[in-house]
Amino acid sequence: MSLWNFILARRSSSLLSRDWTLASKMLGKGARCARALSLFLMPARFPRGLFLASRPLFFFRISVGHLGSGVRDSLSVQREKAELTYRKQLESIFKELEHKVVSLVKKELKKFKKLLSPDYPACSERDVEDEEDQSSVIERALKITLHVLGNMNQTDLANMLHTKLVSEYQQNLKNKQMEKYKGINEGISQHGSSTLLNEIYTELYITEGGSGEVSNEHEVRQIETASRKPATQETPIKCNDLFKDKSIRSVLTIGVAGIGKTVSVQKFILDWAEGRANQDVIFVFPLPFRELNLMMEKRFSLMNLLHDFFPKTKQLQLIDCDVYKVIFIFDGLDECRLPLDFQNNENLWDVTESTSVDVLLTNLIKGNLLPSALLWITSQPAAANQIPFECVDQVTEVRGFNDPQKEEYFRKRIIDQSLANRIITHMKSSRSLYIMCHIPVFCWITATVLERMLGEAESGEIPKTLTQMFTQFLIFQIKHKDKKYHGNIDTDPQQTKNTILALGKLAFQQLEKGNLIFYEEDLRECGIDVKDVSVYSGVCTQIFREEYWLHLGKVFSFVHLSAQAFLAALYAFISFISNNRNELEQQSTAVLHDFKRSTMSDFLMNAVDKALHSENGHLDLFLRFLLGLSLESNQTLLGGLLTQTGSNSHSKEETVKYIKEKIRENPSPEKSINLFHCLNELKDHSLVQEVQTYLSRGGDRHLFGARLSPAQWSALVFMMLNSEEELDEFDVWKYDPSEECLLRLLPVVTASRKALLFNCGITDEGCAALASALRSNPSSHLRELNLNLNEPRDSGVKQLSALLEDPHCKLEKVELEHCSITDEGCAALASALRSNPSSHLRELNLNQNNLGDSGVKQLSALLEDPHCKLEKLELSDCSITDERCAALAAALRSNPSSHLRELNLNDNKPGDSGVKQLSALLEDPHCTLEKVELDSCSITDEGCAALASALRSNPSSHLRELNLNHNKPGNAGVKQLSALLEDPHCKLEILELYHCSITDKGCTALASPLRSNSSSHLRELNLSYNKPGDSGVKQLSALLEDPHCKLEKLED
């Protein structure tokens, strides 16, 4: 209700009530008139109770038309008195209103004036709390002030006022975000139990250039893969530096659950709010998808959405992102319930136009709204494809803790540094545990367990397997609950057991469905009363958590998928040993009758089969825990939870034997690796030990002559992939230089950065297998592939070409020297690279292959393509004639955006004619060549003259290295080169003239410019196997003694 209508309604209601009383006395029981009066005079009869004085008085006249003249006169007098009274009261009200409005505006103007004064503090807070209740008033006062200043041509003052207010609002936002993000809860959030983020925070390992591709693999497999990724291959970046590159508008950060994405966001905001980083940013607006989900049915303009999240921004009106640097942070894309329909959503350009939140987000991400604003989106890998590729400028990946960061975390988390060192040493001794420590949550679990066990000198085996670690963690939680509530005595162990079994059932059912978040109906299905959920979170305080979302009700989850997998395995195991019930089977066959009673080994082997049939590996971790729980030592730890044990040495032996049989069947690398982890949980290391005996041999070729079984090869793969040594380079000659070795160790090859596979008998079959392995693994780490001196031939090269054609292929260097490649294979390679503009290939070695005219033409067409990224091309001994040389040179001349830096034409026959074509290329100011090799190319003084002339005429030449070894330039050609070296614009740094028939005259000619040209760049000169004579040697010796000479290396 407006102030105007409110005043009129109140006053009119008061006056007309008195008229009603008078009229009633005069009319007595005149029912007809009473009904008329009640209909038209009583305020309650009017919609919303709002009306003007003239309306009821008008109706009053109509209503009294049938009354007698005396009554009419009396009412008329009364009406005139009422009108007069109303006018007087209205005058009085507006005098008071005018005074109060002017006072309010004056008050705000004084604040604005104070704000604009030179001595006003830059970041002072002015009665913030009082203003919260008056924000709409202040907003309108500001509008009026800015409008009037504009009309007064005081634009500068208006802009200054707005800037000062922005600074105030920024500080207010910073203060609120400092308060909100300064604390962190490890494990499960508990009220009042947070630790200061700056005290515990350990920098996470974040890398640039992630693929942003959808991964269907379960996150445990992704963690395994990430742990093997060579650090040298990735470009690390700190979260505070995400927007340092001015060309980047939007960043998509991916990472598995629990890896630290949200904590990274929290730290980014806190560092900004505390003035530690990104101080060129004016506003940081965190808009978590979890909260945006609650608004999916509402309509907002973008500005109103911000006002809803950040009320103080109401006074800013529009945010000019061209003037102010603003970052929007959308955390948790994987939790987004909005459709994010980029294809069909309407385009929106106006930040004040209302629409759905989904439309707002898609237009903000596409850049239609606030195109200068910066965006940071975080997501789990499986959800990353919801954002179109073209809307993302940079993809980064949170890889959790690298090895140094793991140690840093433990040293920060554990106050006693000697204890921290013992924990670190122990974790390094168990590779499977150390790999899991990439996840910050698992580091916290480990620290919780080991700090107690090692610090308090508790008896019992220190955990070396995942099952042992989580068993001890669960025991700690139960003891912590008892100590907190019952003084170390478990008053109701059966209730504790029932609670854990109920949580285990929930974990198991949701694990089978692939769910990490679940709702009240899921709990009810497992017999958990939502009213008593505090009982469950009390028993497993740090494992099970409950959150409340306004529109979705209560939402539940486990602290991490590993905790869910452990409780699921515990439930399945107890169900089997207590009721002979196999939860992995369908309901109809789950309960086994006495005459079909299953053994423990049957149950475990069935679990192995189930896990192997899982395509994405969602049961991998569950299987590890289940097998670990089958050991009597772990069952003993669980004590009261297990009324009976369910394993013996015989069932263990049968299970181990079965797993080894499955390994021999050579499953996929990921499944094979998990089976070895399973053997580790069962404490069987026999296969690994067998292989270690071979690797313990001295020297290279450890496996040469050894006949390894398929299981032993798999063991070798497991050992190499889980070794503490970084998988940077795989050299087949260290093991067995054979095609079988390549085929058996393909998972290691794809996990390495560089593969040395030269001269090991690889045929087209080996090439096909290698190409297939790399194509099926877009996250492969391989960047350099050396296949020199093998026999892939054209058929094998075609397989590699199909790989290079794949946009996901990350190979940067391929060497195919002496591989029996003809023009057919060369054409396949060139075609593949032309059809893949996003190719990463930078170096290609085709030395000692017979490419023919057709092959060279295909390569020329590739070099002519502006999308070609090749920087180094080696064509030594490829039968390249002057015509083929001319084709290559013409292609490079026609492509001013060429990236080629190095060209090797050694041992070909271009002759002077071909060299003249190359010279024309080198003369071109767009030529990017830095190194040209022309060893043994039948070049005479004529060709040398052409080269020297071209380089002299191109002062912007990039050429730094020139190899003319084994040619016949003679003294005449050398004199031409000397004239080039005398030129102050010459950039040559290395000149090779080995075996070039140079005499003392040629040496003298070379020495002279190097002495006279103080700006010479030449650092290396090779004159070996020439005929300088005594005179030439003296000239060269004198040159080296000259203080102006820049030569660092002279071979004569």
Least confident of 292-301, 526-535, 660-669, 735-744: 526-535
Separation of alpha carbons 1045 and 1049, rounded Å: 11
Is this model's pTM higher than 0.85 or not?
no
φ, ψ for residue 669, nearest 5 deg: -55, -40
In the predicted structure, residue 739 carries a pLDDT above the cut 90? yes
For residues 512-520, average pLDDT = 79
pLDDT value for 192: 43
For residues 370-386, average pLDDT = 89
Task: State which amino acid sits at residue 416.
Answer: D
In the predicted structure, residue 214 carries a pLDDT above the cut 50? no
For residues 909-913, average pLDDT = 95
Task: State which amino acid sits at residue 175.
Answer: N
- Find out whether 986 and 980 touch, Cβ atoms under 8 Å: yes
Which one is predicted more confidently, 278 or 539? 278
pLDDT digits (tens, 9 = 90+) for 173-186: 999 999 988 887 66
Residues sharing a CB contact under 8 Å with residue 48, sequence separation 6 or more, in sequence order? none
pLDDT band at 220 (very low <50, low <70, confident <90, very high): low
Rounded to 5°, angle at Cα 574 from 652 and 525: 140
pLDDT value for 393: 92
In the predicted structure, residue 395 carries a pLDDT above the cut 50? yes
Task: State which amino acid sits at residue 813.
Answer: K
252 strand-pairing partners: 377, 395
Residues sharing a CB contact under 8 Å with residue 850, sequence separation 6 or more, in sequence order? 821, 822, 823, 878, 879
Torsion of CA 162, 166, 172, 173, to 10 degrees: 140
pLDDT value for 253: 92
pLDDT digits (tens, 9 = 90+) for 17-68: 444 343 334 334 333 333 333 333 333 333 333 333 333 433 344 444 555 6
Task: State which amino acid sits at residue 472.
Answer: Q
> Of the candidates 869, 873, 870, 824, which has an alpha carbon nearest to the alpha carbon of residue 846?
873
- Which H/E stretch holds residue 629? helix 620-629
For residues 513-537, average pLDDT = 75
**Terminal-residue alpha carbon distance, the chain:** 100
For residues 925-929, average pLDDT = 94
Share of the chain above pLDDT 70, in %: 78
- Find out whether 899 and 870 touch, Cβ atoms under 8 Å: yes
φ, ψ for residue 658, nearest 5 deg: -65, -40
Least confident of 71-80, 424-433, 846-855, 863-872: 71-80
In the predicted structure, residue 499 carries a pLDDT above the cut 70? yes
> Of the candidates 335, 341, 355, which has an alpha carbon nearest to the alpha carbon of residue 288?
335
Residues sharing a CB contact under 8 Å with residue 189, sequence separation 6 or more, in sequence order? 545
- Find out whether 377 and 250 touch, Cβ atoms under 8 Å: yes
Mode of pairing for the β-strands spanning 299-300 and 784-786: unpaired
Radius of gyration of the chain (CA): 41
- Residue 436 Cα distances to 296, 453, 932, angstroms: 37, 19, 49
Query: What are the DSSP calls for 845-914, one per residue?
Result: E-TT---HHHHHHHHHHHHH-TT----EEE-TTS--BHHHHHHHHHHHHT-TT----EEE-TT-B-HHHH
- Find out whether 280 and 316 touch, Cβ atoms under 8 Å: no
- Find out whether 824 and 857 touch, Cβ atoms under 8 Å: no
Separation of alpha carbons 742 and 272, rounded Å: 51
For residues 272-279, average pLDDT = 94
φ, ψ for residue 555, nearest 5 deg: -130, 140
Across the chain, mean pLDDT equals: 81
pLDDT value for 100: 63
Least confident of 191-195, 433-437, 494-498, 997-1001: 191-195
Separation of alpha carbons 81 and 1003, rounded Å: 126
In the predicted structure, residue 936 carries a pLDDT above the cut 80? yes
Separation of alpha carbons 365 and 333, rounded Å: 13
pLDDT digits (tens, 9 = 90+) for 9-19: 343 444 334 44
> Of the candidates 392, 178, 348, which has an alpha carbon nearest to the alpha carbon of residue 275?
178
> Of the candidates 266, 301, 269, which has an alpha carbon nearest to the alpha carbon of residue 284?
269
For residues 540-549, average pLDDT = 60
Separation of alpha carbons 388 and 955, rounded Å: 46
In the predicted structure, residue 891 carries a pLDDT above the cut 90? yes
pLDDT value for 4: 35
Residue identified by tokens 């397997």 is: 465
pLDDT digits (tens, 9 = 90+) for 648-669: 778 899 999 999 999 988 788 7
Tokens of 906: 């050694």
Q: 3-class SS at 67? A: coil
pLDDT digits (tens, 9 = 90+) for 109-167: 777 677 667 666 544 444 444 444 455 566 666 667 766 667 777 777 777 777 777 88
pLDDT value for 535: 58
Separation of alpha carbons 290 and 396, rounded Å: 21
In the predicted structure, residue 388 carries a pLDDT above the cut 80? yes
Separation of alpha carbons 726 and 233, rounded Å: 11
Q: Which DSSP letter does residue 599 get?
A: P
In the predicted structure, residue 999 carries a pLDDT above the cut 80? yes
In the predicted structure, residue 836 carries a pLDDT above the cut 50? yes
Which one is predicted more confidently, 912 or 703? 912
In the predicted structure, residue 83 carries a pLDDT above the cut 90? no
- Find out whether 440 and 655 touch, Cβ atoms under 8 Å: no
Tokens of 674: 């998990």
For residues 264-281, average pLDDT = 94
Q: Which DSSP letter does residue 231 get?
A: G
Which one is predicted more confidently, 632 or 531? 632
- The listed range with the strongest mean pLDDT (376-380, 491-495, 814-818) is 814-818
Alpha helices in 152-260 (DSSP H): 155-181, 197-200, 219-227
Signed CA dihedral, 640, 641, 646, 651: sign only: negative
Residues sharing a CB contact under 8 Å with residue 466, sequence separation 6 or more, in sequence order? 432, 433, 436, 562, 566, 621, 624, 625, 628, 681
Separation of alpha carbons 348 and 353, rounded Å: 8
Least confident of 626-630, 643-647, 780-784, 878-882: 643-647
